[in-house]
Amino acid sequence: DEVKFKLAVSLHSAIDEIRSRIMPFSENFPLKDLRESLEYWYAKTKSRVTYEYVVWKDINDKQEDIDALVKFCRHVPCKVNLIEYNPIDDGEFQQAAPEVTDAYIRALERNDIVAKVRRSRGKDIDAACGQLANKNETTA
């Protein structure tokens, strides 16, 4: 059976403790289980996995985070989309420095992992992903 879709996974960290902080539901699905599921997926489909990954300041912006992502990516052929974060006023999450994103790209490419930075559009008018919903909530 030919698979007619591509698989994208919101990863955001390849370290369980950090990933659970970012996405609490992932506590019930550790990275080891995710990795095994993705290995099974690839064995069945031969289709590359895409990892969606936002780099946040003081959350997943250290060298150990980069190293963990590279190691995780070695298990199945993949592509990594590094996504610009759209800051929401004084929210807990802030965009990491551009140098950090550049370090991610260099490390991934050095390890022959396809990586791309997905630039956000519309943030100059507070219309980027996540910003419109936030604006509606604060003005209601």
Question: What is the rounded average pLDDT of the residues 115-140?
Answer: 59
Write out pLDDT tens, residues 46-105. 999 999 999 999 999 999 999 999 999 999 999 999 998 887 777 788 899 999 999 999
Is residue 2, in this structure, part of any structural domain at all? no
Specify if 57 maps to a domain. Answer: yes
Report the alpha-carbon angle 113-119-120, nearest 5.
140
Residue 29: pLDDT above 80? yes
Averaged pLDDT for residues 112-119: 94
CA distance 72 to 12: 12
Burial classification of residue 2, based on how many CB atoms lie within 10 Å of its CB (0-12 exposed, 13-18 middle, 19 or more buried): exposed
CATH number at residue 26: 3.20.20.70
31, 72 in Cβ contact below 8 A? yes
- CB count within 10 Å of CB 53 equals 23
For residue 97, tell me if it sits in a domain.
Answer: yes
126 lies in a domain? yes
Question: 101: exposed, middle or buried (C-beta count within 10 Å: 0-12, 13-18, 19+)?
Answer: buried
Residue 1 is assigned to a structural domain of this protein: no
In Å, how far from its chain's centre is CA 87?
16
The Cβ-side half-sphere exposure at 60, using a 13 Å CA radius, reads 28
Number of domains the chain is built from: 1
Q: Is there a domain that residue 95 lies in? A: yes
pLDDT tier, 120 (very low <50, low <70, confident <90, very high otherwise) = low
Q: Is residue 110 part of a domain?
A: yes
Tell me the residue range of the domain where 87 lies: 7-139
> Alpha-carbon distance 74 to 38, whole Å?
11
**Closest by alpha carbon to 74, among 107, 101, 52, 102?**
107
32, part of any domain: yes
134 pLDDT above the threshold of 60: no
